[in-house]
Structure 1
Amino acid sequence: MSRKSALRAALLTATILVTPAISGCASAYYGAMESFGMEKRDLLVERVVKAASAQEDAKEEFVSALDAFKAVVDVDGGELEATYNRLNASYESAEKEAERVRTRVKDVQIVSKDLFKEWRKELDQYSSASLRSSSERQLVETEQRYEELERRMLKASASMDPVLNVFKDRVLFLKHNLNSRAIASLEGEAAQIETDVSALIADMERSIAEADAFIKDMRGETA
C-alpha cells in the first residue's frame, strides 16, 4: 500500500472511530495520523496550505462575480432573465467559495491550538533547563508568528461578508425587478462594488502571502 493510500485509510479509520464519540475525535484523528508519520506540525502546515488555496479560489470567484455584475448594465431588456440567472449563479459560486475559506481557517485554528497546547505541556518533560528554555523561546516565537497569520486570515475571511451582502442585495433586486429600469438604477453601483472587491482581494493576497511565509518557516525553507 502506498503512503498516500495508507494516509487515506488512516483518515477513514479516524472518521469511523470518532463519529460515535465527539469528545475523543481529536485523539483518534491525531493518533491515526501520527501512526503514519503525520505530526501536528505537519497537519498545521497542510491546513495552512489548504486555507491559502481556498482563499485563492475565493478571490477568483469574487472577480468572476464582479465581472458578471458589470455585464448586467450592458444587456438588452429581452436578456434580463438570462442575465439574472448568470449573475445569481456567480453569486452562489462566490458564496460557496467563501464558506470553504471559513472552513479552512477553522481547520487551521483547531490544529494550531492542539499543537501549541501539546508543545507547552511537553516542556515539562525536559531534564535540561537550557534546552527547555530554548524550546520555550521557540514556542513563543512560533505562537507570535502564527497569531499574525491567523489575524490576517480572519481579516480576509471577514472581508468577504460585506461584499457578499452587496452582491446578494443586487441579485435580489434584479430578481424582483426584471426590467430595464432596474438595470439602469444599478449602473452607479458597479464602481463601488469594484472598489469593495479590490479591497477584498488585497486582503486575501496579503493573507496568502503570510501563509506562504509561515509554511516556508515551518518547513525550514529559506526565502
Structure 2
Amino acid sequence: MRRSLRAALAALVLLPATVGCSSVYYDTMEKFGFEKRDILVDRVEDGREAQTDAQEEFKDALTQFRELVAFDGGELEKQYDKVSRSYDRMQREAEEVRGRIDAIEDVGEALFDEWEDELGEYQSAELRNASARQLRETQTQYAQVVRAMNRAADKMDPVLEIYQDQVLYLKHSLNARAIAGLEDERAVIEQRVNELIAEMDAAIAEANRFIDAMQA
C-alpha cells in the first residue's frame, strides 16, 4: 500500500500549485483511491520513522559528548567540530519529527470531521451506532499515539537547549580547562537524553499499536 501511496504522492507534484490546500489535497488523493484513513496510517508510519531517526541522532550526540568530556590530548578543534555537527543534526531531526506530527494531526482532524459528518447520513440506526463506536475507538487510539509523539517531541527541547549552551561555550573557550568544566554537565545531559529515548520508545510502541489496529 505504501508503494502505491508513494506513487500517488509523486504524481501530485505534477498537479497545479493550488493543490496546497489540505482539503483539495485529500480530495485529490481520494481520486487516486486513497482515503484519509490510508493517509493517516502512512503519516503515522512516517512519524514513527522520524522518531526512530531522531532517537539514533540523539544517542550519537550523547556518545560524541562523552568522548569530548573524556578527551585527553589531541586536536580540540576536531572534537568540537564533531559535537557541533551533532547538534546541527539533532536540530534537523527535531524539526522533522515536529513536521511529521503536524502532518498526522492535519489528516487526523480531517478524517474525524468527515467521519462525524457522515454519521448523519445513515438510514440504519444499527449501522450508525456501530460506526460511531468505531469512530470513538479510533479517536482514542489516535489521541494516544499523538500524545506520545508530542511528549517525546517536548523532551527534545531541553536536550537541544543544553547542547546549544555547550556548543556556544566551547566555541569561545576551546581549551582543556573548558573541556574539564563539561564534566559537571554530563550527568544532566545523560539523564535528559535517557528520558528522551524512553519517551521515544513509548511513542514508537504507540505508533505500532495504532498502525496494527488500523490495518486489522
CA separation of 1:196 and 1:11: change in aligned 2, threshold 3 A: same
Q: Does 1:91 align with 2:92?
A: no
In the alignment, does 2:157 pair up with 1:156? no
* Structure 2 residue 129 is the aligned partner of structure 1 residue 123: no
Structure-1-length-normalised TM-score: 0.91
The residue aligned with 1:203 is 199
Task: Report SS of the residue matched to 1:18.
Answer: coil
In structure 2, give the amino acid aligned to 1:10: A
Deviation track 1:88-117 (CA, whole Å, cap 9, x = no partner) reads: 000100110011000000000000000000
State whether structure 2 residue 7 is matched by structure 1 residue 11: no
What is the identity, as a one-letter code, of the residue corresponding to 1:74? A
Give runs of ≥4 in structure 1 deviating > 3 Å.
2-6
The aligned residue for residue 49 of structure 1 is: 45
Q: Given that residues 5 and 34 in structure 2 are in contact (C-alpha distance below 8 angstroms), is that contact kept between their aligned partners in structure 1? A: no
Superimposed CA distance per residue, residues 161-217 of structure 1 (whole angstroms, 9 cap, x where no aligned partner): 001111111111111111111011111222221111111000000000000000000
Deviation at 1:76, TM superposition (A): 4.2
TM value normalised by structure 2: 0.93
Structure 2 unaligned runs (5+)? none
Post-superposition offset of 1:34: 0.8
- Counterpart check, 1:37 vs 2:33: yes
Match of 2:24 in 1: 28
* 1:8 shift after superposition: 3.8
Over aligned residues, Cα RMSD in angstroms?
1.7
Match of 2:175 in 1: 179
Seq. identity, %: 49
Aligned residues: 214
Give the match's secondary structure for 2:183.
coil
Cα distance change, pair 14–141 in 1 and its aligned pair in 2 (3 A):
farther
| Counterpart Cα distance in 2 of 1:181 and 1:9 | 53
Q: Give structure 1 stretches of 5+ with no counterpart.
A: 20-24
Report the counterpart of residue 102 of structure 2 in structure 1: 106
1:132 and 2:128 equivalent?
A: yes
